[in-house]
């Protein structure tokens, strides 16, 4: 069954149980198998059953977003592209059919975790994403800023102004979120220090080749030293997934109700692992209704029995088996 934009938005946001999730995911799988040509070809080539199950290895390798138009329709409101770290790296492209669905789900999940955006000042430090353009993270941050308090805004190349703004917000007791790409936050932390209890710093996006890579505990320790009484949180998101996950403890990420994570064997992504087993992260993201909801990433982590997941790093310099099937 194919749903209208309003129907699918309502169904996704109405999910409250595993049973509801699995029922809708089954419908989404059938829809995408019928209408998403690269996904259908991939599933057919790996000889998988054409019924949804979290135990079936039907996850599309994320690399195919670089070489194929992964979409169920030719009509798109937006195009998101991955950031990349150099001009030589091919960027993934996600064709977004329904801008309103992306906006509404992003807001819904954030507000479930952090409360109404209207209570926050949102400051965004996202230089590499702004410079490259077509970023889903920048689009989300801009949408949040529009809904947040008037002091909100982007802080590109305005380190001094950012420090002054934080000092003012501290003096007024305003609840503030500083969301930034990791290398920019570390740069700022090395130049500035502020004891701001009402500040939440949310890191995302890694070092992008700008600085030495740090483990998440090292990164959080570096930020905490300059902002001793602030909360240090993390955001997990990517161009290929239209949903985000948040971590308040520096380890476990919480996905929205309409997204579930599993792990697969690192050397064999067709083998689904049990909870608490370390492997490659794969996601069912129902926000991707109009593209592909079943994505195999190159990120290594663990999923626990509650559905929370960790992210330890990225698998590099090796191709996932099965990724090249669509080139035959």
**Other Cβ atoms within 10 Å of 22 Cβ, number:** 15
**Measured between alpha carbons, how far is 280 from 199 in angstroms, rounded to an integer?**
33
Please name which of 157, 131, 130 lies closest in space to residue 145, comparing C-alpha atoms: 130
Q: Residue 180's beta-bridge partner residues?
A: 125, 203
For the chain, the distance separating the N- and C-terminal CA atoms, rounded to the nearest angstrom, is: 31
Q: Are 113 and 246 in contact (CB under 8 A)?
A: yes
Kindly tell me the burial class for residue 300, based on how many C-beta atoms sit within 10 Å of its own C-beta (0-12, 13-18, 19 or more).
Answer: middle
Please give the domain boundaries of the chain with CATH numbers for all domains. Answer: 5-78+255-327 (no CATH), 116-239 (3.40.50)
pLDDT score, position 322:
39
pLDDT score, position 157:
75
**Measured between alpha carbons, how far is 138 from 118 in angstroms, rounded to an integer?**
19
**Measured between alpha carbons, how far is 166 from 168 in angstroms, rounded to an integer?**
5
pLDDT score, position 235:
97
Please name which of 103, 102, 138 lies closest in space to residue 117, comparing C-alpha atoms: 103
Residues in CB range of 326: below 8 A, 6 or more apart: 38, 41, 42, 45, 64, 67, 68
Strand (E) or helix (H) holding 40 = helix 37-45
Q: Are 280 and 296 in contact (CB under 8 A)?
A: yes
pLDDT tens per residue, the chain (328 residues)? 778 999 999 999 999 999 999 999 999 999 999 999 999 999 999 876 667 777 787 899 999 999 999 999 999 999 999 976 555 568 999 999 999 999 999 999 999 999 999 999 999 999 878 877 899 999 999 999 999 999 999 998 788 899 999 999 999 999 999 999 999 999 999 999 999 999 999 999 765 555 577 889 999 999 999 999 999 999 999 999 999 999 999 999 999 999 999 999 999 989 999 999 999 999 999 999 999 999 999 999 999 999 999 999 888 754 443 334 443 3
Q: Are 283 and 271 in contact (CB under 8 A)?
A: no
pLDDT score, position 326:
45
C-alpha dist (Å) from residue 48 to 45, 86, 155, 183, 212: 8, 36, 47, 41, 41
Q: Are 233 and 244 in contact (CB under 8 A)?
A: no
Kindly tell me the burial class for residue 75, based on how many C-beta atoms sit within 10 Å of its own C-beta (0-12, 13-18, 19 or more).
Answer: exposed
pLDDT score, position 210:
57
pLDDT score, position 209:
54
Structure tokens at 86: 């150099």
Dihedral (CA of 37, 14, 238, 154) sign: positive
Helix, strand, coil distribution of the chain in percent, nearest 5: 35, 20, 40
Q: Are 182 and 188 in contact (CB under 8 A)?
A: no
Strand (E) or helix (H) holding 242 = strand 241-247
Kindly tell me the burial class for residue 319, based on how many C-beta atoms sit within 10 Å of its own C-beta (0-12, 13-18, 19 or more).
Answer: exposed
């Amino acid at each position: 069954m194919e749903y209208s934009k309003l129907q699918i938005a309502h169904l996704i946001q109405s999910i409250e149980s595993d049973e509801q999730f699995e029922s809708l995911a089954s419908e989404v799988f059938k829809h995408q198998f019928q209408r998403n040509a690269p996904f259908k070809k991939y599933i057919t080539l790996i000889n998988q059953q054409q019924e949804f199950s979290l135990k079936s290895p039907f996850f599309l390798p994320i690399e195919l977003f670089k070489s194929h138009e992964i979409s169920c329709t030719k009509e798109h409101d937006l195009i998101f592209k991955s950031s990349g770290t150099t001009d030589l790296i091919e960027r993934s492209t996600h064709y977004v059919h329904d801008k309103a669905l992306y906006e509404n789900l992003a807001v819904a999940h954030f507000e479930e975790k952090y409360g109404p955006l209207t209570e926050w000042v949102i400051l965004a430090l996202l230089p590499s994403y702004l410079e490259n353009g077509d970023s889903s993270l920048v689009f989300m941050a801009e949408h949040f800023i529009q809904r947040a308090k008037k002091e909100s805004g982007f802080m590109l190349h305005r380190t001094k102004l950012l420090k002054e703004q934080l000092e003012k917000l501290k003096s007024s007791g305003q609840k503030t979120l500083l969301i930034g790409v990791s290398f920019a936050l570390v740069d700022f932390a090395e130049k500035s220090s502020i004891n701001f209890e009402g500040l939440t710093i949310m890191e995302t996006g890694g070092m992008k080749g700008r600085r030495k890579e740090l483990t998440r505990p090292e990164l959080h320790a570096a930020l905490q030293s300059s902002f001793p009484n602030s909360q240090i949180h993390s955001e997990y998101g990517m161009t290929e997934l239209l949903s985000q996950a948040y971590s308040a403890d520096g380890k476990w990420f919480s996905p929205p109700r309409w997204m579930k994570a599993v792990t697969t064997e690192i050397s064999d992504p067709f083998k689904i692992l049990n909870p608490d087993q370390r492997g490659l992260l794969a996601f069912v993201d129902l926000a991707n209704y109009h593209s592909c909801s079943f994505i195999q990433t190159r990120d290594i982590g663990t999923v626990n029995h509650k559905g929370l997941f960790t992210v330890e790093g990225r698998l590099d310099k090796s191709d996932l088996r099965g990724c090249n099937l669509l080139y035959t």
